Each structure stands twice: as C-alpha cells, then as structure tokens.
Structure 1
Amino acid sequence: MTERDIGAEILAGLKEIREFKKGKAQLRTVKLSVPQSARQIRERLNLSQSAFASMMGVSVRTVQDWEQGRRTPKGPARSLLRIAEQNPKAFLAVSFAA
C-alpha cells in the first residue's frame, strides 16, 4: 500500500477550488448510490436483526423501524449499509473484529 501525502492532497484541493472560482476548472462530483433496503442487505448477510443491529451500532428497534419503513437510515448508518451491500466480506470482517 502506498503512503498518502495528506498535506499535498489538501493543497491540491485548495488549488482546484481557486481555479473553479476563477472559472478555469470544473469541480469533480461523485453521485453515491442509494443502498438496497436494510432488510435485503441483512438477509443477504444471513444475520438476525439483533446481530445486524449490533454490527451497525444501532438498536434492534432502529433496524425494525428501517425494515418496516417507519424510518430511513441517515448519515453514517447509510454509509455502513452501502459498505455492507457493496463489500459484505469487509463489513463482516470489520464488524466481527470490533
């Protein structure tokens, strides 16, 4: 794995913003996909609501609310669902290691 130079990345980002403000560059954007439903992801991982809630760092009630459409995952939970959907092995490995 190559080592990142965070300072250089920040400076490059600032330069990109400056160029954008001058009208000399377009900013890159990334559109994130909406993850499948929490139930579909949980079932694909073959986890109980309790185990899935523990891995997500939320209550069982929250998982039930997601699955029954009473609530929608937001912020970090949505990101974790996207990881669980796109890379289930990494999600399970990290979750079980914690």
Structure 2
Amino acid sequence: MRKDMFDELMRSVREMKEVEAGRMKPARVTYVEDLIDDVPRLRASFGLSQRKFAALIGISVATLQNWEQGRRVPDGPAKVLLRVAATHPEALLAVSAQAAGRRVPVRGRKTRV
C-alpha cells in the first residue's frame, strides 16, 4: 500500500475513534428513512392485494398480515427483499415475471432468444 494512502486511512481511523468517544463531531450525518417501516404503504404502491403481494415476494399471507399489523418485523432476507421492492420495483416485477415464464423487458439489458 502506498504510504500516503496508508496515512490517510490511519487519520480516518483516529477520527472515527474520536467521534465514537464523543470528543469530535462527525463531518456529516446521513439519515435514511427505512423504506420497509410501512409495509402496507409499500404493498399499496404496487396496487396488489395481500394475497398477490405475498405471492410476489414469496411469503405467506399470514406473514404479510403480521408485518402489516405490527405483530412481527421483517428481518434478514425478507428485509432486503422489501428494500429492493421499495427502491427498484421494476426489478422485483421482472424477476417475478421470469419465474412465471413471461418475458419482461428490463431497461439496459438485452433479452436472450
């Protein structure tokens, strides 16, 4: 590793420790709304019933209802899938259509014949 890069990395590590110890304020703070906090709103954005949305993401209707009613919270792979659904719905719909054997054009990709 180049010395200048190593020195910059070490400065960053020292700064991180200062911020964690409360002796220094972070240079910037980023807040990201958790896109999966409102599962009913996410489902509504797809315009799907609970049954159809549950089928789209491969979960049971009971699991979806538990999420929507606040009895359970999505975690692990489900959380990631919901984030994909929220940020790139076209990708989720394309994968779902492929699984069903239909062709769906996805921007920027060539379809194989």
Shorter-chain TM-score above 0.5: yes
**For residues 32 and 76 of structure 1, do their structure 2 counterparts lie closer, same or farther at Cα, with a shift above 3 Å needed?**
farther
Question: Where does structure 1 lack aligned partners over 5 or more consecutive residues?
Answer: 1-18
| Structure 1 match to 2:87 | 86
Distance, in Å, in 2 between the alignment partners of 1:47 and 1:96 is 15
Deviation of 1:96 after TM superposition, in Å, equals 2.2
Q: How far 1:93 moved relative to its partner?
A: 1.1
8 Å CA contact 1:66, 1:72 repeated in 2: yes
* Paired-residue identity, %: 44
Structure 1 length as normaliser, TM-score? 0.64
Determine the C-alpha separation between the residues in 2 that align with 1:72 and 1:89.
Answer: 24
RMSD across aligned positions (CA): 2.6
The TM-score normalised by the length of structure 2 is 0.57
- CA shift, 1:24, in A, is 8.5
**Deviation by residue 1:35-79 (Cα, 9 ceiling, x = unmatched):** 232111110011111111111111000000100000000111111
Structure 2: runs of 5 or more not aligned: 1-5, 14-30, 100-113
d(CA) in 2 for partners of 1:83, 1:66: 17
Q: CA deviation at 1:32?
A: 7.5
SS in 2 for 1:70: coil
Shift >6 Å, 4+ stretches: none
Q: Mark the structure with the bigger radius of gyration.
A: 2
- Once the two structures are TM-superposed, the CA of residue 34 in structure 1 deviates from its matched residue by 2.3
Number of aligned residue pairs:
77
